[in-house]
Each structure stands twice: as C-alpha cells, then as structure tokens.
Structure 1
Amino acid sequence: MSVFNPYLNVIKKAVQQDPKLRQRLFSAEQEDSAFDTSYIKALRNELPNSKSLNESVSLIKGMGAPVFGDLPELGNHPDFKHLRYTDETEDHWIISGFIDVKDSTKLFNRFTKATVALITEGIVQASIFAVNLCDGYVHRIQGDGLMVYFGGKNKDKTESVKNALKAFAMISYFVKNDLKDFFAANSVTEIFTRAGLDLGHNSQVRWLYSGSGKAGEVTTCSLHTSLAPKMQSNAVSNGIVVGQNMVNLMAIRKYFTEKRNPIWEYGDGRTYSQYDFNWDMYIMDNGLGVQDRYGNIVLTMGNSEPKQSLDKTYLAPIAKLNKPYFCL
C-alpha cells in the first residue's frame, strides 16, 4: 500500500468519470455546464481527513506514527506567529522550499475544469500531507504548487534538512510514478514536478510580518528564500535542486551532483553552488522505499529505526485495519 493511495484513488475516479474524456470531446470548446459534473462534490469528500490520514500512516509506519490534528494555518509559522500584526523582526534559520507541478495546464485539453480542479486539489493535499508528515510547514499554496518551510525553534538543523529532502522526494515520487503512470494510460503525458530547497542560517534570515492588516503573512526576508525558486527553475523534470548550505550539513555527499553554473555570485569573487539531488537513491538508501521484481521503486515509508517500543498504544491502529489470525 502506498501512503499516497487515498489521493490517487480519488484522482482516478475523477478521471474515469469525466464526461469530456468519456465522450472524447478533446477539441470541443464546451463549457462545463454542458456536462454533468455532479460527481465532483462526492469525490471531494473522499479526500483524506485527519482520521483517515492517521490510519494510513499507522498502517505504513507502524510504531511511532505521528498523529495528525489541525494543521498549521498558511502564512503563519507556529514559531514566529507572535510577529503577526507587529513591526518586530527576528533572525532565525529556516529551510525554504518550492515545488510545482509543470505542464498541468494541458489537463484542460482532456478534462472538464471540474475534474482538473479536483486533480489539482488531490496533488496539493497529498503534498501538504507529505510536508506535515516530515515536520514541515506549508507557507503558501500557488496553484498546484507549494511554498514550504522546514525547521524552526527547538529544531535540529541537520534533521530538518533530512526531513525536507524526504518530503520533497515523496512528492516527486508520487507525481513521477503513481500519477504519471495513470495519466499516461489516459494519453496525458509530460506531467512532472520541479523543486528547489535552500537553507539560510541565523545571520541570513529575517522573519517579519509582511503586508497590511489581514492582508499579510509572517514570512522571511533572505537570499536563500529567494534562491529556492530559482533552483526550482533549474531542476530537470521530476528533479530537485538544493543549495550549498544544505549539502554542507549532510555527512553523505553521494546524493548530490554539483551543477556547472553556481546559483549566485556575491560580486567579490565568491559563488554559491547548487546541486542536483538524487532522490531515487535517497529513498532506497534510507528505508523509504523498496524495489519490486521489475526494478521499480515502491514507496513504503518503512520505519527503519522505530522510536517506540511495542505496546498496545501503537499496535491498536494497525489491529483495527488488519485483524490478525492464527494458522496451524
């Protein structure tokens, strides 16, 4: 079972029921009002809520699975929300990330906009799930893409780097494998992600409330926040590009290949490098996935180092979904 199956299943149903696809009206410029799209409302309700998310994660990870409640609100990182509506500032390190699904506009050529909206919502919610599962915070939703933060106060910087890499690897896997295979079966090609991640240290990041009144957000002013989307634009299809600061904190460098051109020149002879991140290898080496008999990676999110001992608190969610039996 893939941790993303609850989202993929809803997207599959939306595509399979889409009247424009079923009638093969790909070149017809008809309004959605010409089609019956009443199926969409029911499918939206099938997207995972906190209860189903917790059941899914417990099934995948077993012991020590995190518990999901209310997710943090957008534009309001919990550790810096005290800056909201003030003119105060604070310097603190953070990892900024941008990930976007490219060429998704081509979906409008084959599906009604009601179905496209649900596909987009499924991708966004799956991405939000992955980010929060890996201890990150969604800062902003941009169409079918996200701006996110990893880290904060009382967080270990190296662990936050690993969490950011894991979350973005998961999202990239979902779009490259689960979604792409299904879309390809319906003659939709060239749907892919591109992502950028960079770390700014304490002296390189300023937190502040940007905007006026309710029309604002708690955000960062940092060269490295600005560089993350530039790295995204330099990523290959389904690729992730990360900054030098993140690579410097990783003990194992084999997952990173330096790009020929630096992402930034300081003007005094110094440059700042960017690296392609081999997330496929990272998934395999860190117990996040396995290869099937055909050599394909299957995302498992297995817990290679359980944090909790075996007791009924952690076994109960699994037992509810998988009743044990005894064989002679």
Structure 2
Amino acid sequence: MNTFSEYQNIIEKALNRNEISKGLNESRRYTGLAGPTSPGRYTFSDYVSNRSQLSFSADLVAIANKMGAVPLNNQVIGHHPHFSHLKGTTNTEKHYIISAFIDIKGSTNLFKKYDEETNMIITNTIQLAAINVCQLFGGFIQRIQGDGLFVYFGGKNVDKSKATQHCLTALGLFSYFVKNDLKRAFEQHGIERIFTKIGIDFGDDDKVLWGVAGKDNTSEIATYSLHTSLAAKMQAYAGSNEIVVGQYVKDKANFDSMLYTVVEEQRYIFSDQDNAFYYTQYVFDWLKYLKSSQHIATSIAGDITIKPQIATIPSIASLKEVVGENRPYAKIKFR
C-alpha cells in the first residue's frame, strides 16, 4: 500500500546503512584506505531532514475529511486541548473518550544487526507513522511509551460513533503497514518479524473522569476509567498485528458484527459478579474492514491501496455566489 511509502523509504535507507558501512569497511581493510563516511550512507542528519517532510497522500487526507475527522494540530503530549482548562487545578470532569494502546513488538531484535542510531531511525519512523495517521483521523497522542503509544480518540463536540470509526480506520491502516509493507522490507534484510499489538476501549461520559495526574511540570491531564485500564489489558491479549477491542467499541462503531471474534483465551476481560457485569473483548478484523471500505481497492493478490479520491466540483449556483457580478471574462451567464 502506497499510503506509508515515505515512511517505508526512510526505513529501507536506514536498513541499508549496515550494508553500505560493511562494504566500505571491507574495502578499507583490503586497500588500506581510510577516509570519511561513504557518501551513500544514510546519516542521522538525512533522517532529521526527511522526517520533517513526512506526509500522507492527498487521497488519504481526503478520506479522513470525508469521514468527518478533524485533526488536532499543535499537540502537547499529555495535555488534551479539550480538557486543558483542568491544568493547574484540582477540578475534574466527566466526559467520554476512546483509549488506544499501541505496542510495537520485536524491535529489540534490531540490536542484533544494527547500531543504536540506525535502531533509533527505524523505530522512530514506525512511531511517526502511527502518530501521524492517528492525528490525521482526530487522535490525540497522550503518551509515548518505549516503542509504543497511548492515544485518545474523541472529545468535546465529537460524535461518539464517528470517533470510534476514525480510531479503527487509523489503526487498521497502521496495522496493514506493519504487517505487509514493513514485513517485506525487513525480510529482505533477514530481520526477525516486527509486529504490532493494539488494545482499544470506549468509556462513556459516566465512566471516564478527567483530571490532573502529578504536579507542576511533572503532570499530565489524564483519564481515570475502567475502560482506559482495559484497553491496556486488551493489548496483552492481541496476537501478532491484531487489534482487540471492548464490547463498547463494538457497540459504538456500528460495523458489521462479522468483523468481530470473541477472544478465545479469555472472553471476559472484566467481570463483576456482584453487579452481574461481564465485559467481552473481541478481535477486530481490520483487514476485512478495510477491504469492505468504498475508499479501498483490492488487487487479485489481496493487496490493498487507496482509491483516487475525486475532488468535489462546485455547482454553478455556488460559483455564482462567489463570483457575483465581477466576471468580465466569464462566458457563462447565470440565470
């Protein structure tokens, strides 16, 4: 899928650093030459320059817009802008949110073949792919945790069902990138598999309490909710490149029930016998969901790609409203 091609290109350049350096060292050993780093070697400075220009295709941006996703720009980790008024206070507020925990597994295997700088470029680029696609679909990066991320979707004046759909779409696209595009790149370099595990849960207005955790500059605006905790636990039950979601995510997304399968290892991620509350967790079939999307095309081989998004052509009536009477060269007469 070409959606993450810019990220994949950076990762492939980083993977090639080792081969270029190895070849250069072999040449120096046999010729007795010594000199500066090979001009073909991808440097950290190259990476810093490239990552500032990372973007997604106009087609993917158009899909996010059509789905009604509103990106949260200029984010400050740990300080969701919809609840920033709680900063520096002891106030609390109840409001729904979707919590998503994304863990990238197997990246420590990179240390078997690559130095720390190469490892940083690779893992950081994978993280950036997750960060940027989540932000595009309205996600807020609450925390970076090692190789993984903790992300919120939803907020004030954001429809609950749409926010849930945005979350599943963003993380489905990211999962495809890791499972397919990155897998091929890593296999070419003999690297053991790197995969993702994701847990997502929805907490409604009466089940999520927002407040400040910590103090002063060592603080963040956090949620205190069973469902934030459960999202982290669900991640542990996810298999390789799987997304596990709670019952409330299934209810809010309004997707076909055929996209969900009960987690066989432990159906109930939480149970409260005294209150007869048994909360089910499901594996979400993100690939089947993506393939069913009107915005996605599937090849004979099963690979997916984003369909070109046709721009909306304004009507004659709307053009008349914009142009008004100031159209000396217009050949169309408005009636």
TM-score interval, smaller chain: 0.7 to 0.9
Moved over 6 A (4+): 65-69
- For 1:198 and 1:139, the matched residues in 2 are separated by 15
* Structure 2 partner of 1:226: 229
> For 2:287, what is the secondary structure of its paired residue?
helix
Deviations 1:45-92 (A, max 9, x none): 11243xx52xx4325455858897943111111100111111000000
Contact 1:289 1:302 in 2 (8 A): no
Contact 1:150 1:161 in 2 (8 A): yes
1:73 and 2:79 are equivalent in the alignment: no
From 26, 39, 44, give the equivalent of 1:40. 44
* Structure 1 partner of 2:198: 195
1:153 and 2:156 are equivalent in the alignment: yes
Change in 2 beyond 3 A, CA 1:282/1:109: same
* Structure 1 partner of 2:128: 125
- For 2:73 and 2:107, the matched residues in 1 are separated by 29
> For 2:151, what is the secondary structure of its paired residue?
strand
Deviations 1:299-323 (A, max 9, x none): 31655xx7x7225xxxxxxxxxxxx
- For 2:143 and 2:136, the matched residues in 1 are separated by 17
Contact 2:77 2:142 in 1 (8 A): yes
* Structure 1 partner of 2:216: 213
Q: How far apart are residue 23 of structure 1 and its match?
A: 5.7
One-letter amino acid of the counterpart of residue 278, structure 1 = D
Root mean square deviation, CA, Å: 2.6
The unaligned stretches of length 5 or more in structure 2 are 26-35, 315-335
Q: How far apart are residue 19 of structure 1 and its match?
A: 5.5
Contact 1:20 1:110 in 2 (8 A): no
* Structure 2 partner of 1:259: 263
> For 1:14, what is the secondary structure of its paired residue?
helix
Q: How far apart are residue 99 of structure 1 and its match?
A: 0.6
The 5-angstrom pairing of residues 99-114 of structure 1 reads 99-114=102-117
Contact 1:232 1:241 in 2 (8 A): yes
* Structure 2 partner of 1:323: none
One-letter amino acid of the counterpart of residue 281, structure 1 = K
More helix by share: 2
- For 2:179 and 2:119, the matched residues in 1 are separated by 18
Contact 2:71 2:138 in 1 (8 A): no
Deviations 1:105-125 (A, max 9, x none): 000101111000000110111
- For 1:87 and 1:270, the matched residues in 2 are separated by 31
Contact 2:17 2:42 in 1 (8 A): no
- For 1:89 and 1:199, the matched residues in 2 are separated by 19
Contact 2:102 2:197 in 1 (8 A): yes
- For 1:143 and 1:20, the matched residues in 2 are separated by 28
Aligned length: 295
> For 1:3, what is the secondary structure of its paired residue?
helix
* Structure 1 partner of 2:91: 88
Contact 2:94 2:210 in 1 (8 A): yes
Change in 2 beyond 3 A, CA 1:279/1:178: same
* Structure 2 partner of 1:292: 299
* Structure 2 partner of 1:283: 290
From 130, 133, 137, give the equivalent of 1:134. 137
If the length of structure 2 is used for normalisation, what is the TM-score? 0.81
1:57 and 2:57 are equivalent in the alignment: yes
- For 1:45 and 1:11, the matched residues in 2 are separated by 14
The unaligned stretches of length 5 or more in structure 1 are 26-34, 312-328
Change in 2 beyond 3 A, CA 1:106/1:150: same
